Chain A
Amino acid sequence: MPYDDGGLLVSVGTSFEAFVAARSDALVRFAYLVCGNVHDAQDLVQDALVAVYPKWDQITVRDPMAYVCRAIVNRNTSVWRKLRRLVVTADVDPGSVTPTGEVDDRDWALSLLATLPPRQRVAVVLRVLDDHDYADVAAVLGVSETNARKLTSRGLTALRARLEERS
């Protein structure tokens, strides 16, 4: 997975410390778009990094970014986390409302993204927002490349439909 926006192309032998230093922002952004909450995003990334550290030597032989992203996705879709969020999300993010009471465009877009089923959301984030290929999407979601295409397509179709509904 060619995550190179942070100046480090993750490759075989990359140390855990170098990976964390270079990829933390990208990981938290990914987690944020997937879960929609900054605190949950940081929690997800931290939890995923701790979990992958003991296996780091084996992970770097393949693709650590995909592995960590998949760990984040698994945690985000955990049934227990989901139930826990039913309570947590009752809190209103003060940043989502402007002083005039209008919803910020960016938060409105985030809420639109959040209407997608989790797998479609991940597919759209990786393929469209992060510009990864379908093989990357498939690797993170643990599905075939064909299904990664289907998920992305369905997600975009759903977003377009919701945009039309609201226009």
Chain B
Amino acid sequence: MSELSEHGLDDVMAALRDRASSVRGSFDAGALAAAGRRRARRRRAALGGALAGVMVVVLGGGVWGLTTWADQSPQVAADPSDPVPAPTHQIPPVEVTVDTSGWPTYSSPQYPVTFQYPPDWTVGDLEGEPQLLDGCDTINCVLFVVPPQSSDAAPVELVRNGFAGSITAGSVVTFPSEVEVLGSVPGLSGWALDGQDQDGPGQVVVVSSEDEWGVNYSLTVAGSAANGLAFGAQNPLPDGPQTAFLFSTNVGNIGGESGGEYTQTLVAILASVQPNPGFAPTRPEDDGTG
């Protein structure tokens, strides 16, 4: 044990200042600025893709509507390529106790799902710099859903594994402790990263788990111990490393203590997740900057 324990808090602070004083930062502002410009270009390209996706959905919906209107007795045949297979588990929907009417919906072609968030929260830009670190990996492709400054709520983060294959069925991130299933997300099914649903996609559920940092709330596949999931009609994990996702938050971390109304808000955000028909992720090198 250190001799510091025999002294007071002032000694600890002095030791910390001393330790930190030896740390230096050396960054090339020009390279950082160039990376920032590339990110901005990608964001604009993503926005264009999102608008195109919306147009496709709107036009497609119009065509579908005209078709069904013209045919008053439709015979809907089962399509083996139906993009929404039936879940293999039957867990009741998660209970949402806050009023989510009027919540805006976030949609981006970079993510396979959309979600809703409170009007006074903000969705940050897709953060990540594929050029500086090893591909647009998981720690860099993060979308923060941030509460207002006056709130103690925790930000929610939606992590895409990018294209470096950081999260795949072969590199599972598991929950640090027992999880409590809070309920399923209606209309959403996914593939577990630990491969426990090889015969078909499972029901997506909201779970909570506690660790030394606080309580984690995450989306996962029912029965899976993996903190993350993938979406698709067929299991995309073996061949599509860019399809693994983490949608999670930690209460007691940056964002306040466990319990209270905002915890219900966080659960409501996770429970609002729905498939994104405009999902069309771009690889980092596709933007012409790589």
Give A contacts to B, CB under 8 Å: 16-17, 20-21, 24-25, 27-29, 32-33, 38, 41-43, 45-47, 49-54, 56, 73-75, 77-84, 86, 102-110, 112-113, 117-119, 128-129, 138-139, 141-144, 147, 156, 159-160, 163, 166-167
Contacts and interface: CB of A to CB of B under 8 A. Distances in A.
Contacts of A128: 13
Q: Is the interface of B mostly helix, strand, loop or mixed?
A: mixed
B40 A160 contact: no
A105 B2 contact: yes
A103 B2 contact: yes
A45 B30 contact: no
B254 A73 contact: yes
A161 B20 CA distance: 23
A28 B23 contact: yes
A110 B213 CA distance: 17
A161 B260 CA distance: 27
Pairs A-B, 7 closest by C-beta atoms: A53-B36, A28-B25, A24-B25, A108-B2, A106-B19, A109-B15, A20-B29
Contacts of B149: 138-139, 142-144
A27 B85 CA distance: 49
28 contacts: A24-B24, A38-B23, A46-B32, A50-B32, A51-B36, A51-B129, A74-B155, A75-B142, A79-B159, A80-B159, A83-B227, A86-B176, A102-B2, A106-B15, A108-B5, A109-B15, A109-B16, A110-B19, A113-B16, A129-B16, A129-B17, A141-B254, A142-B146, A142-B149, A143-B149, A147-B256, A167-B5, A167-B6
A54 B16 contact: no
B144 interface: yes
A48 to B, nearest CB: 9
B33 interface: yes
A53 B152 contact: no
Contacts of B256: 119, 143, 147
Contacts of A143: 149, 151-152, 256
B2 A51 contact: no
B37 A29 contact: no
Contacts, number: 193
B52 interface: no
Q: Is the interface of A mostly helix, strand, loop or mixed?
A: helix
A74 B173 CA distance: 20
B24 to A, nearest CB: 5
Given A82-B250, A84-B139, A142-B149, A118 B16 contact: no
A16 B34 CA distance: 12
Given A17-B29, A54-B39, A33 B20 contact: yes
A21 B32 CA distance: 12
B139 A118 contact: no
Given A28-B25, A79-B157, A129 B20 contact: yes
Nearest to A43: B133
